[in-house]
Amino acid sequence: MAQARKLLVRALILAASAGAVSAVYQRVAEARDRRRFPAPGRLVPVGDDRRLHLYEAGDGRPAVVIVPALNGSILEWLHIVREVQHDTLVCVYDRAGIGWSDPPPSGRLSITAMAADLCALLGAAGVPPPYIVAGHSLGGVVARRFAADYPQQVCGLVMVDSSHDDQAERISWRQGAGANLKFALRCRAWILGARRLAAVRGMIPNLDADIAREAPPEYAGAARAISLSTQSRRITVAEMLLAARHRNQPADLGSLPLTVLTSASSTLDVWPQLQDELADLSTASRHIYAQRAGHNIHLDEPEAVIRALREMISQCRP
């Protein structure tokens, strides 16, 4: 019995020591990453001693404002920005806690708070309305909330395989809220220093492939640093929990110009119906299916997103 107790104590000491070393390694590596990879855009104060990261390119009105997906940074949208900047001003931003943006205030996240952050960011950055707001996945929910709460600032919406406000209720638990909670728990269980070391040793095989697909080559190092950061894990868990619990009816959009761009290859049986309902929110909508794309249409079929944005720009110009 005494021998077993000694072994248990040694094991606990070893585990605590390994955890401390892992935490120190993570902090040192993150400090190095912040020096190596400065923000490519502007860090704009939005109150409460917080800053949000805004990347802008091009010139003209109306401005296009892109709202990325759950824990999606600006990097995966730069190839779209570089095309559409020839037509007008294009803005893409990191929500609170994502990429180079400061964390959100303490407490549970909400879609309304995210929309308010976007309004504060655009105002503080001096980007004049009206805006064409394009939202992908969870970003589509934020974009619709922004349009509902600040209707005078929005002249058009583009939904890129957008989440539906009530999908947590209507998609099966296994594929919807349950899958989100399972992923959130798995993220929460990551020992970040150990995960970073595994990445350095090439033991996370999909990491580099995902980065190569999502980020321009010159930002591969920054994308890798973001994906391995403590802040990225925290906001992924928080936004996953938000997606799992959020239940609401999408706000009616009246006659606001709306394009709903939907993946034709979704494995969710209810997805086409949810997308049809989004298109029905406006009397001036178009519903387009991207035939060669999965959920990440902007990566799989970027020309479809670029075309939808350009058509909306033409429609919204006087």
| 38 CB neighbour count, 10 Å cutoff | 9
Distance between CA atoms of 161 and 96, rounded to whole angstroms? 22
Please report, to the nearest 10 degrees, the dihedral formed by the alpha carbons of residues 171, 177, 179, 185 taken in order. Answer: 180
Neighbouring residues of 205: CB distance < 8 A, sequence distance ≥ 6 = none
Tell whether the model's pLDDT for residue 45 goes beyond 70. Answer: yes
Neighbouring residues of 151: CB distance < 8 A, sequence distance ≥ 6 = 256
Could you say which DSSP state residue 152 is in? G
CB 256, CB 282: distance < 8 Å: yes
Ordered DSSP codes for 211-243: HHHHS-GGGHHHHHHHHTSHHHHHHHHHHHHHH
Query: Would you state the pLDDT for residue 26?
Result: 66
Q: Give the tens place of pLDDT for each residue, 135-158.
A: 999 999 999 999 999 999 999 999
Range with the lowest mean pLDDT among 60-64, 193-197, 212-216? Answer: 193-197
The band of 263, judged by pLDDT with boundaries at 50, 70 and 90, is very high
CB 253, CB 157: distance < 8 Å: yes
CB 93, CB 55: distance < 8 Å: yes
Partner residues linked to 54 by β-bridges: 42, 93
Query: Would you state the pLDDT for residue 233?
Result: 83
Could you say which DSSP state residue 287 is in? E
Tell whether the model's pLDDT for residue 219 goes beyond 70. Answer: yes
Tokens standing for 7? 């072994």
3-state secondary structure of 125: helix
Taking the model in full, what pTM does it have? 0.89
How confident is the prediction for the chain on average, in pLDDT?
87
Range with the lowest mean pLDDT among 10-24, 55-69, 103-117? Answer: 10-24
Q: Give the tens place of pLDDT for each residue, 75-90.
A: 999 999 999 999 999 9
The band of 72, judged by pLDDT with boundaries at 50, 70 and 90, is very high
Tell whether the model's pLDDT for residue 25 goes beyond 70. Answer: no
In single-letter form, the type of residue at position 175 comes to: Q
Pairing mode, strands 154-160 and 258-263 = parallel
